[in-house]
Amino acid sequence: MEILAFGVQADEKPLIERAFGIHEDVRCLDVFLNADTAPIAAGHEIVSTSVNADLGADVLEILAAGGTRMVAQRSTGFNNVDLDTAERLGMTVARVSSYSPYSVAEFAWTLAMAVNRRIVRASIRTRDFDFRLDGLMGRDLHGRTAGVLGTGKIGEAFARIAHGFGMRLLGWDVAENPACAELGMRYVPKDELLARSDLITLHVPLMPETRHLIDAAALKAMRDDAVLINSSRGGLIDTAALVGELRAGRFAGVGLDVYEAEAGLFFLDKSLEAVEDDTLARLVTFPNVLVTSHQAYYTEEAVGQIVDATVRNVLDYREGRRSENVLVPRS
Ligand SMILES: NC(=O)c1ccc[n+]([C@@H]2O[C@H](COP(=O)([O-])OP(=O)(O)OC[C@H]3O[C@@H](n4cnc5c(N)ncnc54)[C@H](O)[C@@H]3O)[C@@H](O)[C@H]2O)c1
């Protein structure tokens, strides 16, 4: 029976069709799953969803009423899924618990280097044949301190690159990662990390206890000349508070691949529409801020691994196997 895949980017479509093709029929839609689009899934036992799908209670109820029994989410984070409702409805929900952590760690570094060395402004200038260096001064990272909040797979990959640059490493996590400790990372309380780091990067999952991990107080605790990078989930930062600090002229650079109100914006072309989101509109006006639209995972390797794992998740569901990727039913 046909699987319906929501939120498929043009680059992903051939990969998804090829990977599923041997085993299953798949239909790819570019629309994202939400309450308006959920009725399209009627009659599909299995749907596959992308990172910005809305899998809240209302949408899950619509899917279940249409006969959907399994959701194969094509991401690691699952903060968009109401797991309790899925369980109550007797659905199976699987995610991709791991894929190339290098995709995200390397992109976090891309943002860090771009804001530190003013690459976007430099590129705009040279296109305009303006070859002055005023305002483009960056800083050596060698010998400076990188603070990694969340030292799991991606945080560790980020720390290895920081180590290669000759940076001192501070970490904060509920569980220490021995591989990071081996690199010389010192685990410290969050406030100490924020106060002492030149470069702060977020790699914890978004959960109720990490929501607005970087709130007004945390932003105040950071150095005025810190670089802040978020390639994890937008909800980790209180964006309104961040805008307030940026208005006050703080921070050497801020690189955001994620934004707390990104659903309904990121992955879509909104270039011809009036901007309704004043916070995002203000954010992109700061010369020291760089915003990208949730593309950190978007490498050939990572997308290939996500698609392969999603196919495995579907086959496991069909054949009644359990794996670490299954979120619901809880074991
Ligand atoms: N921008 C993107 O394209 C993209 C792609 C993939 C993942 N991500 C995000 O990156 C996150 C991290 O991915 P990962 O593969 O490194 O996950 P991981 O599970 O390997 O690491 C997460 C780390 O966070 C720590 N942690 C969990 N809860 C915590 C808490 N309350 N306080 C402090 N530390 C806590 C864990 O102990 C773990 O070390 C994902 O949850 C996802 O949100 C973003």
pLDDT digits (tens, 9 = 90+) for 52-81: 899 999 999 999 999 999 999 999 989 999
Whether residue 183 is found in the same domain as residue 279:
yes
> How many H-runs (helices) and E-runs (strands) does the chain carry?
12, 13
Ligand 1 proximity of 153 Cβ (cutoff 6 Å): yes
Atom number, ligand 1, closest to the C-alpha of residue 157:
16
Residue 318 CA to residue 210 CA, distance in Å, equals 35
pLDDT confidence band for 22 (50 / 70 / 90): confident
* Mutation pick for ligand 1 pocket among 161, 173, 201, 262 (CB with most ligand atoms within 8 Å): 173
Q: What pLDDT score does 234 carry?
A: 97
pTM for this structure?
A: 0.94
Please give the number of the atom of ligand 1 that sits closest to the Cα of 231.
1
Residues 58 and 126 in one domain: no
Q: How far is the CA of 152 from the centre of ligand 1 (A)?
A: 6
Residue-wise pLDDT tens digits, 248-264: 999 999 999 999 999 98
For residue 101, give the 3-state DSSP assignment: helix
Q: Is 116 in the pocket of ligand 1 (CB under 6 A)?
A: no
Q: Which region, left, alpha or beta, applies to residue 181 given φ > 0 means left and ψ of -120 to 50 means alpha?
A: alpha
Which of 79, 104, 107, 158 to mutate for ligand 1's pocket (most ligand atoms within 8 Å of CB)?
104
Q: Which are the catalytic amino acids?
A: 233, 262, 294
- Cα of 169 vs centre of ligand 1, distance in Å, is 18
CA of residue 239 to ligand 1 center, whole Å = 19
- In this structure, the answer to whether residues 272 and 150 fall within a common structural domain is yes
For the chain, give the longest Cα–Cα distance. Answer: 64
pLDDT band at residue 331 under the 50/70/90 scheme: confident
State if residue 95 touches ligand 1 by the CB under 6 angstroms criterion: no
- Is 176 found in the same domain as 324? no
CB-ligand 1 contact for 66 (6 Å cutoff): no
- In short, whether 110's Cβ falls inside 6 Å of ligand 1 is no
Domain count, the chain: 2
Residue 23 has pLDDT above 90, yes or no: no
Q: How sure is the predictor about 1, in pLDDT bands with cuts at 50, 70 and 90? A: confident
| pLDDT at residue 213, rounded to an integer | 98
Mean pLDDT of the chain: 96
Residues 248 and 175 in one domain: yes
What per-residue confidence (pLDDT) applies to 183? 98
Pair (286, 319) in one structural domain: no
Same domain, 66 and 126: no
pLDDT (tens digit per residue) in 188-240: 999 999 999 999 999 999 999 999 999 999 999 999 999 999 999 999 999 99
Q: What would the mean pLDDT of 128-137 be, rounded to a whole number?
A: 97
Q: Is the pLDDT of residue 144 over 90?
A: yes
**238's torsion region: left (phi>0), alpha (psi -120 to 50) or beta?**
beta
Residues 78 and 105 reside in one and the same domain: no
pLDDT digits 0-9 by tens, 86-98: 999 999 999 999 9
212: domain CATH number? 3.40.50.720
Instruction: State whether the beta carbon of 257 lies less than 6 angstroms from ligand 1.
Output: yes
Same-domain check for residues 106 and 84: no
Q: Which of 158, 108, 155, 98 is nearest to 305 (CA)?
A: 98
Distance from the CA of 232 to the center of ligand 1, in angstroms?
Answer: 7
- Pocket flag, ligand 1, residue 150 (CB < 6 Å): yes
**Same domain? 74 vs 171:** no
Do 71 and 202 fall into the same domain? no
Over range 94-104, report the average pLDDT: 96
Side-chain half-sphere CA neighbours of 69 within 13 A: 6
Q: Where are the alpha helices (DSSP H) in 197-283?
A: 216-221, 239-247, 278-283
Which residue range is the domain that position 275 belongs to? 101-291
pLDDT at 262: 95
> What's 312's DSSP letter?
H
Q: Give the pLDDT band (50/70/90) at residue 21.
A: confident
What distance in Å separates the CA atoms of residue 127 and residue 53, rounded to the nearest whole number? 37
CA 27 to centroid of chain Cα atoms:
25
pLDDT at 71: 98
Q: Report pLDDT digits (tens) over 255-295.
A: 999 999 999 899 999 999 999 999 999 999 999 999 999 99
Asked whether residue 138 falls in the same domain as residue 84, the answer is no
